[in-house]
Structure 1
Amino acid sequence: MTQHPCGTDRLEYATDFLYPFIDGQESDADALVADLIASAEAKATESAALRRATLQTCAPLVSAAGAEMARRFAGGGRLFTFGNGGSCTDAATLAGLFASPPSGQPLPAWSLTADQAVLTALANDVGFELVFARQLIARAGPADIAIAVSTSGNSADLLTAMREARRRGLYTIGFAGYDGGAFADNPDVDVCFTVESQSVHRIQEAQALLGYQLWATTQGQAGQR
């Protein structure tokens, strides 16, 4: 417990080390601004380097996955994306990119977190671990594609959904961070894009670029068919 300048107590949180200059103790405005600039520049540099390295490492996987996705879309397949928390929004953004692209051909894609009524009903009635698997049972067929987005690659609901997707013949793609977690070397995951970082922020930034590259590759392949 530490004392704020205003005299009230506050807890020291584990995230304070990320932004030590926003603790209310800095009295030099110029030094504070310099610290903010240095922190932003360091994070931007780190993020850019990680994104470049990830794209280079994953390039063969992106090419193979894009080709298979294009083949499935040409055969009437659809894309289903899903994730938890921040990864949920990234999964929804990816589905939106495929369904309503800035250019090229719109492709059928849905985020399985988009329908709040369905999501909360399944979580309440059958358990959160099944919120995505049950939707795949109801909606998906063997020509379709499933993309699970995660920073850890270990979420139980995502693994259950990928297992169900594999059972139903879907092409399965996992986005993960760290060392890939349970997505890596998993028979239920056809392709695992792993962002090798310990920072959730940097992982999600790199995953966003990977998703865009996957869309662009799929579009390029679809245009050749």
Structure 2
Amino acid sequence: MKPQSLPGAPRAEATSFLYPFIDAEESGPRSLLSDLAASARAKAIESAALRRATLSSSAALVAEAGLQIARRFARGGRMFTFGNGGSSTDATTLATLFSRPPAGPGLPAWSLTADQAIVTALGNDVGFNLIFARQLIARAGAADIAVAMSTSGSSADLLQGLWEAKRRGMYTVGFAGYDGGDFARSRDVDVCFVVASQSVHRIQEAQALLGFQLWCTVREHGTENP
């Protein structure tokens, strides 16, 4: 017998759009494994198609941003990345790709989410919306680069960080999903990469590939002073 919901309890969210086999009536382990394999294949096909489409639609922006970032690095600039939740780990991964790449020399890049003491101190003492802006005030200058990673493109602390970065003369890059959110409409964002999807999972997968392509483009331009 299925447990009864308590009066006034919120309805459980449907899971079929993520894991269609969960709500299916399975006849045994073989049927379940078949559904699991089909779900994995469908997600892989969907993800690959979205990544190809995103790279194609963003090619001109990647070329533009890669050139501008390479020029900033050549003038002694540094990269600061930031994001919330899963996007914070994506921001750290991007900073690590630039600072400790699989090939070639590293470039000065840091994730503003990496130091738990700083993030929690700022969140507690001055407010969560300022956890990135205040770090940029302390560390960044006009020659530097700010990269904000998000699925919604509308997080208040990221927008505040981008505003501060732009005010300081930094080159600003936004990664967003859906329709780009506030990133796509903000004058504080020089280049906004939009992954046109409603799935957080697919958005972040495509953003990871965009970040890698951005690194490749910067490396192709070179970062040595002429």
Q: TM-score range by the shorter chain?
A: over 0.9
Q: Which residue of 1 aligns with 2:154?
A: 154
Cα distance in 2, alignment partners of residues 209 and 12 from structure 1: 36
1:174 paired to 2:149: no
Cα distance in 2, alignment partners of residues 187 and 53 from structure 1: 26
Kept in 2, the 8 Å contact 1:105–1:219? The answer is no
Cα distance in 2, alignment partners of residues 15 and 178 from structure 1: 20
Cα distance in 1, alignment partners of residues 167 and 45 from structure 2: 42
Aligned partner of residue 206 in structure 1, secondary structure = helix
Q: Which residue of 2 aligns with 1:212?
A: 212
Cα distance in 1, alignment partners of residues 178 and 134 from structure 2: 28
Q: Which residue of 2 aligns with 1:90?
A: 90
1:45 paired to 2:36: no
Cα distance in 1, alignment partners of residues 185 and 191 from structure 2: 9
Q: Which residue of 2 aligns with 1:103?
A: 103
Aligned partner of residue 14 in structure 1, secondary structure = coil
Q: Deviations over 1:2-56 (max 9, x none)?
A: 71xxxx6689731521224235953421111111111111100000000000000
Equivalence map 1:4-19=2 (5 Å): 13-17=12-16, 18-19=18-19
Unaligned runs of at least 5 residues, structure 1 = none
Q: 1:105 deviation in Å?
A: 2.1
Change (3 A) 1:213 1:86: same
For these two proteins, the number of residue pairs brought into alignment is: 220
Aligned Cα RMSD in Å? 1.7
Cα distance in 2, alignment partners of residues 77 and 129 from structure 1: 25
Change (3 A) 1:223 1:113: closer
Kept in 1, the 8 Å contact 2:82–2:149? The answer is yes
1:127 paired to 2:127: yes
Q: Which runs of 4+ in 1 moved over 4 A?
A: 8-12
Q: Which residue of 2 aligns with 1:199?
A: 199
Q: 1:89 deviation in Å?
A: 0.3
Q: Amino acid of the residue matched to residue 34 of structure 1? A: S
Q: Which residue of 2 aligns with 1:36?
A: 36
- Give the TM-score normalised by the residue count of structure 1: 0.93
Change (3 A) 1:60 1:133: same
Unaligned runs of at least 5 residues, structure 2 = none
Cα distance in 2, alignment partners of residues 212 and 119 from structure 1: 26
Q: Which residue of 2 aligns with 1:65?
A: 65
Kept in 2, the 8 Å contact 1:47–1:206? The answer is yes
Q: Percent identical across equivalent pairs?
A: 66
Cα distance in 1, alignment partners of residues 14 and 80 from structure 2: 34
Q: Amino acid of the residue matched to residue 14 of structure 1? A: E
Cα distance in 1, alignment partners of residues 114 and 149 from structure 2: 15
